[in-house]
Chains A and B, each alone.
Chain A
Amino acid sequence: MQRISVDIGGTFTDCFVAWGDKYVGTKALTTHHNLAQGFNDALDIAIEELAIDKRTLLSGVDSVRYSTTLGTNALIERNGPRIGLLTTEGFNSTVPLSRGRGYGEGLPFEKQRDLCNAVRPDPIVPISMIRGVRERVAYDGDVILTLDEDDLRQKMRELVDQGAETIVVIYANSVVNPEHELRTREIFLEEYPSYLLGAIPLLLSHQVAGRKGEYVRSTSTIIDGYLHQVMYHGLGTLEMYLRSNGYDKPMLISHNSGGMAQLNSTDALQTVHSGPVSGVAAAEHLSFSGELGNIVATDMGGTSFDIGIVVEGGEKHYDFNPVIDRWLVSVPMVHLVTLGAGGGSIASYDYLHNSIKIGPESAGSDPGPACYDRGGMKPTVTDADLMLGYLDPDNYANGRIELNPARSRFVLEEELCDDMDMELLDICKQIKQTADSNMANGIATELRSRGYDPSEFTTLAYGGNGPLHCCGIANALGVNRVLAPPFSSVFSALGAGNVNQMHIHEMSTYTVLYHTGTQSMLTDYERINTAISELEARGRDDLQRQGMNPDDIKIRLEFDMRYGNQRVETAVETDVTRFNSMHDVLALMGRFDKRYGERFGEGSQATESGVRINTIRVSSYIELDKVDFSHVKPVEDKLSMEPVSSRSCHFVGVDEPLDTPVYDDAALAAGTFIEGPAVVTTVNTTYLVEPDWNFHASHRGAVWFFRKDGK
C-alpha cells in the first residue's frame, strides 16, 4: 500500500507515509500563511527516509488524506466573513441567547458556576446582523404563516447593505418542510445572482443539519458559513500543491464523523476537530487490526487530555450535539471528551482541604511549565515530573527544549512547600498522583456513564505526556495493561490514513413504535421506510458523485430512540433496515431495551411509558484498504537490554528514591522487556515504567505496559 496522511495542527503538521511495508512518521512546523509549505517540509523528511523523490511518491500513492484543526483555529482567531442571519420572525434572539447556557459551553465547571463573572463569547453574528422574516412552519410541516416575500427582500437588502459577506437562513421546522428556506434561496439568487462579482454565499440550515433544534441548527449553519471560505482557500492551496507535484487523484478530507470525503463533498463544519477524531479512528483501526478488543484512547498533551472510546464489534459513540469552540452545534461527531489536564496543568494549594489542586488553569505551551524557563511562574505537572527524575533536562522533546530544574524547584517551594509544610519531593509525588487520579476519574466517568467498566478496556496512551503518566493513570483506574501505540507522535495522521469514505445523513422524525395511551404499535411502515430509503439514496448519491462503485457502498442504519418523552435518545444500530411487520417493530424495541439496560442497569427500561424514534441516521460508506498493524499485539519474546545510564527517581508509594535504569530508542526494538522501575527516553517521548509495571516492546514501536501482578 502507498498512502500519505496528514494532520495539520495548530503548531505541527504531522505526516504519516505508508510506502509498501515501510511506514514513516514525520513532523514539521505548521505554516499558517501557506499550509502547503509545512506539509512540504514534513514530506521532505519522509522522502529522505524513504530515499525516493517527491514526484515518485505523490504520483505513486493511492490517496492523500488530510485531517486539520484549521477550522478550530479560524474560529479562535475570528478571521471569517461577516455573516448575516435570516430567521423566522419571533426567533430573532434565539442565537444571541444561546439557550441560556451558552455562556458556559466549553468552559470548566468552575467558570460555569461563577455566574457573576459569566460572559457569553463574542458572537459570530452580532445582533445587528440578524433579521426576522415573516414566515412560520409548524412542527408537522404545515405552513402557519406563508413566507412574506416582500418582507424577505427588504431584510435581505438590509443585511447586504450592512456588509454581509455570507448569508445563513434558519427557519423554524425547516427540517420537516424546507419550502420557505428553498424559496428564500430562489429569491436571493434573483436579487443577487451568483455570476456577479462578489456574489454572496447563502446557506440553508436544513441542508447543513437534518435534526430538529433551532438553536443548534443555527450555530451549525453559522459556523459552516463562517469557516467556508477559510477552509476552501486553505485546502485549495494544498490541492494545487499536490497537483503541481504529480498527484492526480482527488484529495480526501477527514471528517469529524470518523469518515472522509473528497474536498468538493465536504462541509467546513465536518472538518472541525477532525484531527483529534482521527486519533480515535487510529485507535479503532489498531483495535481491529491488532485484535485488541475494547480500547479507551487517551491523548495527554501539554494542556489537555482527550478521551475516546472504541468498542469491539463496531458500535460507534457519537456526540450529536458536540461543542465546537464555545458553541453547541448539531453534527454527528465521534465522541471525544477533553479534560483540562496535561503537563502544563498548574498545581496549586487547596487551602480548603490542605491539599493539592491540579488545574483547571494551565501554563499551556506559552509560557509553559516553569522549567521551560520562558517566564512561567507557576508549578505544573511537568515541573513535578522533572523533580521526580522522570525527565532528562538535556534531552527533552528531542533536545528542542532545555529544561531548567532550578526554576521548577523554585516555584514548587515558593507556591506549595511553605503552605503545605511538606518536603519538595513529597509534594511532587502528590502532584503526580493527583493528576493521574483526576485523569483516571475522567476515563472512569466516561466509560461507566455509557455502561462499560474500565477493566474491560485496553488503555491506549499517546500524546507527548501519555507514556509518561500511563502507569499512574492505570493504577488509579485499576486496569492492568496499557498500549503506547506505534507512531504515537503522529497518531492522528496515522488515523486519517485509515478511515472509510463515509457520509452520514440524518432526519428528525416523530415515529411512535409503542403508544402507551392508545396501547397501539406502529403499523404505518411505509412512512418510515420511505424516510430510510430517502436517506440511503442521499448517501449513495454522495459516494457515486465521488466516483465510487455503487456495488461497494455499504449502509449502516441507526435510530435515536427514547422511552416516553425523554430528552436524550439512545442510538441503536440495527439490521432491521425496513419495517414489514410487528415482528420488526418488536425486534427493534428489543434491541433498544438491551442496549439501554446494558448502559443504565437492567430493569431501568421503561417500555410501559411508550417507545419512539426521534432520528433516523444512515451512514453510507465504502470500506477502503487499511495500513496493516496486526503486529502491534504483544510478542512472545522477552529480550533483555542493558540500560544506557541510571538516575535517581522518586515514585508514589515508595519512600526512598530508587536508582532507576534509563534506556534510549533502542528499547523500542520488538521483544525488549524491561522490569520497572525504568525510564525510556526516545526521540519523540518519555516512557515511565513505574515500579509495579513492566515494559514490553512490540513491532513498529508499539510498547505494552503490563502490571506485574496483573492477569
Chain B
Amino acid sequence: MANVADAKNLSSEDKEILEKFLKANQLFHGPDQEIMNNHGLCPRSEEEERILSVEFDPHMANLCRGRILAALDESHTMVEQMGVAPGAKWGDIVTTIFTANGDMASTGTHGLVAFASVVGYPIRFINKYWVDDSSVGVHDGDAFIHNDSRYGNIHNTDQSMMMPVFWDGKLVCWVSSTIHEGENGAIEPGGMPSIAESKFDEGLKMCPFKVASNDELRRDIVTFLQNSVRDPKLQLADMKVKLHVAIRLRKRIHSIIEEFGVDSLIGTLRKSLEDTDAMVKERIKEIPNGTYRINTFLDSTLRENLLSKVPMRVTIKDGQMTWNFNGAAPQYTNRSINSVGASFKTCLATGLTLYVWPDLPKNQAAFAPIDVEFDENSLLNSSVDAPNAMSLLAIFRAFSLPALTLAKAQYCMPKRFTAISAPSYNQPATFVYGGLTQHSEITGNFCADINGNGTGGRENKDGEHALSPVFGYMADTGEMELAEEELPFVRLVSQKLAKDRVGFGKYRSGQGYEQIATVRQSSEFGFMSGQCGAKFSTAPGLFGGYSCPSYPLAKIKNINILETLAKNPEQFDFDMVELMNAQKIPGGKYSTQGAMNFEFCNEGEIYMICQGAGGGYGDVLDRAPEMVIKDIEDGLLSQETALRMYKVAFNPDNLVLDLEETENLRQEERQARIKRGIPYDEFVQSWVKDKPPEGVPYAGSWGDDDSLLYVNAPGVPPRSIQAGSEGVMLANPKDLRISSLEQEVAQLKQQLGAN
C-alpha cells in the first residue's frame, strides 16, 4: 500500500494519480494544515498585481482607507448596540475587512484584533474548498458561519459571520463580524468547558459553512444550531446581529467602490498590508541582533496541578526575527487547555501590536514578517484531535510574551513606540455561569470581570489597577447592578482592591480586584472558573521587579449567607482573607483551590475570586518613599510590607517619612544582598539540575535541550518523550481519587479485620 506519506518514494506519475484520486474521494474537508500553518500574507493576486504594478496614488488610498475605517466603525457600533451576548456588551467583538484572498486588511478603531486575524483562516478555507464546490458555492448574498478553532478561531465560544463582497460579478473582498457568544452547548455551560476530555465535549464545532443566502438566514440551519445549545434565543439573536452587520458593511464597501472605483478598493486593501509589512521589516532591522529568552509556566490543567512550560526564544539576525517555542509542554490529549498553533500566533500578534508597536495598523501584516517555530503536538500547537476549549490558559501567555521578551531588546534602542512595561496580569478570573435565572430563563455565559486586570509597572510610572483585559483596550467590566438584574447572583463584594497584592518594584504593578458572590433566587445555578495562577505566579516582574502574587479561588459551602446577613450580619466580613482566616460563619465548609470545574451553588453559598496584578518594574529599593506612603494611605499596602519590602522608615501613627533612616535601611539591605550573593559559576553549580526534581508535577523541556520533554504528572509514571510526539494522556482525577479512597477503605478494612 502507498499513501501520501510515501510520496517521496512514488514516481511522479503515481504521485499525480494518487493525489488526483484522493482529491476526488476526499472523505472529509478537515482543517487544512497548509492554510492553518501560514500566518503570512498571500502572494499578490493577478488583480492586485495588475493594479499595483502601475503607480498607485497614496493620497487617494488614504482617502479610501478613511472611508473603510468609517464603515468598520459604523459596523462595530452596530454590534455593540445590537449584540445580546455578554461578550458583545463589554467589548469582545470585532468587524473586519479582508482581501479577496482572505488576508485581514483592517478592523475598525475598536474591536479585538485577535478575533479578526483568525477569521482569515476560514475565509481561505472557503476560497479553497467551497467556491468551486457545486453543492456549496460562494455567491452574492451568501454568508458563512464558523466557530471551530481548528479551522481558525481563538476558541469555540466565538462565532464569526463571513460575507463575500462582489462587484460586477467578481469577488473583491470579504467582510466579517465576530462576537464572543459564550454558550455553545459544551459539556459545561458558558462555552469554555474546563472538563472537556475530548473535542466532542466542546459543543458546537462549526467548520465554515453557508448559513445564509440572498441575505437571509436559513431557518433549518439556525434551528439546528439553536437545538445544539442551552440558550437558543442568544444563538438566534446574535446570528441576526452578525448577518445584518455584515450586510451593512457590504453596503458601505459598495459605496466606496462607487466613489473610488473597484481597483482603488482592491489596491488600497493590498497596499495597506504591504506598507505595514515593509514598516515591520524596517523595525526589525533596527533591533540589535541577539537572542532573548523567557520561560513561563502554567500551573494547572484545570483538572490537576501541573507545571507546563511555555518558553519563548526570540532571535534577531540580519533583519529577520524568529520566535521559537520549542520545548514547550506536550499537548494533553484529554485536557482542554491545548492551543491551536494559529490561535496562539494570532495572540502573539496581538501582544506585539498592543504592547510593543501600538501605533501599527490593525492588520495581518503587522505580524506576517515574523517567523514562528513550534513543536508539533505541543501544548501551544496541538493536533486537530486534542481538545482546546480552554486554550485561554496557554494563549493568554501569548499576549504577554512578546513585550516581555522584547523589552530586553528594546531597552537600548533610541526610539521606542510605547513605554517598556512589565506584563499585565494574564490569567483573568471570571465567573462562568449556567443554570436557571430568577426570570425563568436558561442561560450559560461568563461575566465581564475578565476585562479588569492590573497592568505591569512601567519604565516611568506605576501600573494601573484593573485596566482592560490583556488582549484588548477599552473593554468594560460593566455595571454590577445591571448584571444582577439579569442573573441570579449577588456580588457581596463587587470590586475591591486588597492590601499587598501587587508586583512590587521601583514602579509597582496595578492590582486586580477581589470579588465575593453568592446565588440568590435560583435553585439551579452554578459556577465554573477556569484560570491558572493559584500556585505559580503568571505575570513575571521586569528588570528586578517582583512577579504578581498567586490567586487561589476560595469558597464557603454549606452556609446561607443571605440568612446570616439577615440574622447575624456581624459574622460576615467584606474581605476574602478575613472570611477564610477567621471562619466566623458557623457550619461553613471553607476551602481554596485553583481552577474550578462547573458545580452547582446552593443559594447563599459563597465563591471568591481575584483579578490579578501585573509584574513589578525595577528594584524595590529604588522606589520613591513618598510613593510607598501614598500606597499605605490608599490602603493598598500594609505598614509591615512597606518596611519589609521597600525598607522605608516612617512614623506609624502619622505616616511622616524618615528619609535619613530610609536611606540607612536601604544601604543595609544593599550590603546584605552583597553578602548573600555568590559568584555566578557557584550559583550555576548549586542551582542547575540535570532534570526536573521528582515530586514536582512538571511537563516540558529542561535545560538547553529542547528536544526532550519531561512529564511528571499525577497518576502517570514519570517519563521523557521526544518533542513533537503524540502528546500525553493524563489520568482522570476522579479515578485517582476513587483509587485513593479505595486504598484507604482497603487499609481500614485490613485494620478492622486485624482488630
Contacts and interface: CB of A to CB of B under 8 A. Distances in A.
Interface string A55-97: 0000000000000000000000000000000001111111011
B482 A213 contact: yes
B244 interface: yes
Contact of B455 (A89, A91, A115, A353): A115
Interface stretch (B203-211, B333-341, B353-361, B533-541): B353-361
A420 to B, nearest CB: 9
B246 to A, nearest CB: 10
B707 interface: no
A94 B275 contact: no
B424 interface: yes
A138 B490 contact: yes
A104 B455 CA distance: 14
B565 interface: yes
B88 to A, nearest CB: 7
Q: Which of A134, A216, A442 has the most CB of B within 10 A?
A: A134
Interface stretch (B5-13, B288-296, B460-468, B591-599): B460-468
Nearest to B59: A430
A216 B479 contact: yes
Interface in B65-93: 65-67, 69-70, 73-74, 77-78, 80-84, 86, 88-91
A449 B442 CA distance: 32
Contacts of A113: 354, 358, 473
Interface in A553-611: 563-568, 570, 600-601, 603-606, 608-610
A445 B476 CA distance: 22
A603 B562 contact: no
B634 interface: yes
B81 A172 contact: no
A600 B82 contact: yes
Given A116-B419, A212-B482, A604 B69 contact: no
Interface stretch (A278-286, A461-469, A509-517, A621-629): A509-517
A183 to B, nearest CB: 16
B492 interface: yes
B70 A564 contact: no
A90 B81 CA distance: 30
Q: Which of B241, B440, B485, B633 has the most CB of A within 10 A?
A: B485
Contacts of A516: 233, 441
Given A126-B634, A144-B565, A356 B464 contact: no
A444 interface: yes
B494 interface: yes
Contacts of A214: 479-481, 494
A288 to B, nearest CB: 28
A346 to B, nearest CB: 16
B58 A353 contact: yes
A449 B252 CA distance: 11
Given A567-B83, A604-B240, A609-B236, A97 B247 contact: no
B237 A603 contact: no
Interface residues on A, range: 35 or more
B121 interface: no
A518 B441 CA distance: 9
B73 A564 contact: no
A90 B493 contact: yes
A350 interface: yes
A136 B565 contact: yes
Interface string A142-181: 0011101000000000000000000000001100000000
Given A145-B569, A214-B481, A114 B634 contact: no
Contacts of B493: 90
A233 interface: no
B485 A212 contact: yes
Interface string B471-491: 001111111111011100011
A568 B635 CA distance: 36
Interface stretch (A222-230, A433-441, A688-696): A433-441
B216 A603 contact: yes
Interface in A514-537: 515-518
B236 A89 contact: no
A48 interface: no
Nearest to B421: A116
B279 interface: yes
A352 B634 contact: no
A684 interface: no
A90 B240 contact: no
A114 B81 CA distance: 25
B496 A114 contact: no
A448 interface: yes
A406 interface: no
Interface stretch (A117-125, A194-202, A297-305): A117-125
Nearest to A447: B74
Q: Which of A101, A110, A610 has the most CB of B within 10 A?
A: A101
B574 interface: yes
A148 B80 contact: no
Interface string A410-440: 0000000000000000000010011001100
B551 to A, nearest CB: 16
Contacts of A353: 58, 61-62, 65, 271-272, 275
A90 B497 CA distance: 10
A128 interface: yes
B420 interface: yes
B516 interface: yes
Contacts of B89: 566-568
B458 A115 contact: no
A118 B464 contact: yes
B58 A354 contact: yes
B468 A100 contact: yes
B479 A215 contact: yes
A478 B458 CA distance: 47
Contacts of A109: 109-110
A104 B91 CA distance: 14
A437 B66 contact: yes
Interface in B347-403: 354-355, 358-361, 403
B408 to A, nearest CB: 15
A112 B473 CA distance: 7
B515 to A, nearest CB: 9
Contacts of A352: 275-276, 279, 360-361
A641 interface: no
B523 to A, nearest CB: 16
A93 B361 contact: no
Nearest to A426: B59
A603 B80 contact: no
A81 B215 CA distance: 57
Given A110-B359, A350-B62, A103 B467 contact: yes
B520 interface: yes
Contacts of B440: 515, 517-518
A444 B477 CA distance: 30
B475 A100 contact: yes
Contact of A173 (B59, B82, B244, B481): B481
A563 B562 contact: no
A106 B81 CA distance: 19
A90 B495 CA distance: 6
A62 to B, nearest CB: 42
B476 A99 contact: yes
17 contacts: A90-B491, A93-B465, A93-B495, A97-B513, A100-B451, A117-B418, A128-B634, A144-B562, A144-B566, A145-B566, A172-B480, A172-B481, A216-B479, A352-B279, A353-B65, A564-B237, A601-B247
Given A97-B497, A110-B359, A600-B78, 5 more contacts: A92-B495, A172-B481, A214-B481, A565-B84, A609-B237
Interface of B: 58-59, 61-63, 65-67, 69-70, 73-74, 77-78, 80-84, 86, 88-91, 109-110, 215-216, 233-234, 236-237, 240-241, 243-244, 247-248, 252, 259, 271-272, 275-276, 279, 354-355, 358-361, 403, 418-421, 424, 439-442, 451-452, 455, 458, 461, 464-469, 473-482, 484-486, 490-497, 513, 516, 520, 562, 565-566, 569, 572, 574, 633-636
